[in-house]
Chain A
Amino acid sequence: MKIAITTSGDNLASPMDSRFGRAVRFLVYDTDTKGLLLVDNSQNLNAAQGAGIQAAQTVAEAGANVVITGHCGPKAFRVLKAAGIAVYNCEAATVQEALGLFGEGKLLTASNADVEGHWS
């Protein structure tokens, strides 16, 4: 299983990025191989609109089965759902902590978008 976590850093000790669409990058952790993959999302930082859905496409392309992030908007949520990716909300400080909480089954799946999208 591949887990994508939003982060501003590049390793397990890095801080989580609470944003989804405008997260700096995704750290994808493969639970089978224990491998790490960094996926850049910076092209979305300045997107006027649709950052969330593009980010969702990016994590889908990276083969993620699970996304752990702070907040995910409604459109991104629709894409993730269509791609069969489960979304978990988490306020943990670091990527490692988030993975730990996920492993212990302490995170709840988001059944809906938790932040409203905004128009620009």
Chain B
Amino acid sequence: MKVVIASGKGGTGKTTVAVNLAWFLANCGRKVQYIDCDVEEPNGNFFISAHFSKRISAFVMLPVVDQQKCTSCGECSAKCRFNAIVRLPGNTMIFPELCHGCGLCLLVCPAKAISEDEREIGIIESGMGWGGISFVHGVLNIGEPMPKPLIRKVKEQGLSDHIQIIDAPPGTSCSFVETISDADLVILVTEPTPFGLHDLKISEEVARARGKSIRVVINKDNGTFRPLEKFLEDRRLKITARLPENRKVAEVYSKGDILLEELPDYREHFSSIAAEVFRQSENLEHSPNGVLP
């Protein structure tokens, strides 16, 4: 079961929801794995108190051109969708920072002048946090422009017999799309503000276009922001929890503490989110081909 917790921008309480949901599920005796896909700014380990026991490098394929064999025909450069190859007479240049490692140039080169090398884009660390929660995250190398392959590799560390709580990167870029690609449930965390609503609309559209089951958690809720309520009604979006506004939440967060330990009042809200996760997981088991209708 893969549950992605996402929000359009940072700072809406996405990580708070992800961490506390993981805590709650672990306290229910479930096997939980926390997967932090925010590879550009991973911080879930801090909240989960993760101790890493394994560290691997993540690589992507990088083509190299043998200039001796290259006939400067230009096939590779014409076919590369990412504009990562330039053919100049006697010098075919590859731009690693643009290359997506798709391998097409290797296939199309008639002179077989291109071979495979690899390039490290980041590292993947995994281990254990409190409450027996398995933890894995990726750390993208500084200056590395392509988070997507690393996110994919981080998700490959997912344990199929665990409930995977996946912390999505902020925004609705290709990183977000990659993160939700195989999600069974997407929980969008939003705030009752015009900015929050704007981002919610975009993320909802992206997730819906990919046929995802979507639930909404409203953070810092005061129930008075009409445009948000209207949007949720219009879209028939299911609200699984409304977390009340409380100054103490930010304090707890800044100390890296667990909200549900410090403010037990919030447990009922997470109990509703967990119930939704269980319901979805049951639906999943009962659907014939393992996918939801």
Contact = CB atoms under 8 A, between A and B. Distances in A.
Q: How large is the interface on B (under 10, 10 to 19, 20 to 34, 35 or more residues)?
A: 10 to 19
A79 B290 CA distance: 50
Contact of A47 (B77, B83, B95): B83
A60 B88 contact: yes
Given A53-B95, A57-B77, A79 B82 contact: no
Contacts of B88: 57, 60, 79, 82-83
A54 interface: yes
Contact of B86 (A47, A49, A53, A119): A53
Contacts of A56: 86
Q: How large is the interface on A (under 10, 10 to 19, 20 to 34, 35 or more residues)?
A: 10 to 19
A24 interface: no
Given A47-B83, A49-B83, A50-B82, A75 B95 contact: yes
A54 B145 contact: no
Interface in A29-72: 47, 49-51, 53-54, 56-57, 60
Contacts of A78: 93
Interface string B88-120: 110101010110000000000000000000000
Nearest to A75: B95
Given A49-B98, A57-B77, A119-B145, A82 B83 contact: no
Contacts of A54: 83, 86
A53 B83 contact: yes
Contacts of A79: 86, 88, 93
Nearest to A53: B86
**Chain B contact residues: helix, strand, loop or mixed:** loop
Nearest to B91: A82
Contacts of A49: 82-83, 98
A82 B84 contact: no
A79 to B, nearest CB: 5
A67 to B, nearest CB: 14
Contacts of A119: 145
Contacts of B82: 49-50
B87 interface: yes
Interface in B67-83: 77, 82-83
Contact of A82 (B77, B93, B97): B93
A49 B91 CA distance: 21
Interface string B18-54: 0000000000000000000000000000000000000
Nearest to A44: B83
Interface string A79-93: 100110000000000
Nearest to A60: B88
A75 B95 CA distance: 8
Contacts of A83: 88, 91
A117 B25 CA distance: 45
A57 B93 CA distance: 10
Contacts of A57: 77, 86-88
B273 to A, nearest CB: 34
A9 to B, nearest CB: 25
Interface of A: 47, 49-51, 53-54, 56-57, 60, 75, 78-79, 82-83, 119
12 contacts: A49-B82, A50-B83, A50-B95, A50-B98, A53-B93, A54-B83, A54-B86, A57-B77, A75-B95, A78-B93, A83-B91, A119-B145
Interface of B: 77, 82-84, 86-89, 91, 93, 95, 97-98, 145
Closest 10 CB pairs of A and B: A50-B83, A119-B145, A57-B86, A83-B88, A53-B86, A50-B98, A54-B83, A79-B86, A60-B88, A82-B91
Given A53-B95, A57-B88, 11 more contacts: A49-B82, A50-B83, A50-B95, A51-B83, A53-B83, A57-B77, A60-B88, A75-B95, A78-B93, A79-B88, A82-B88
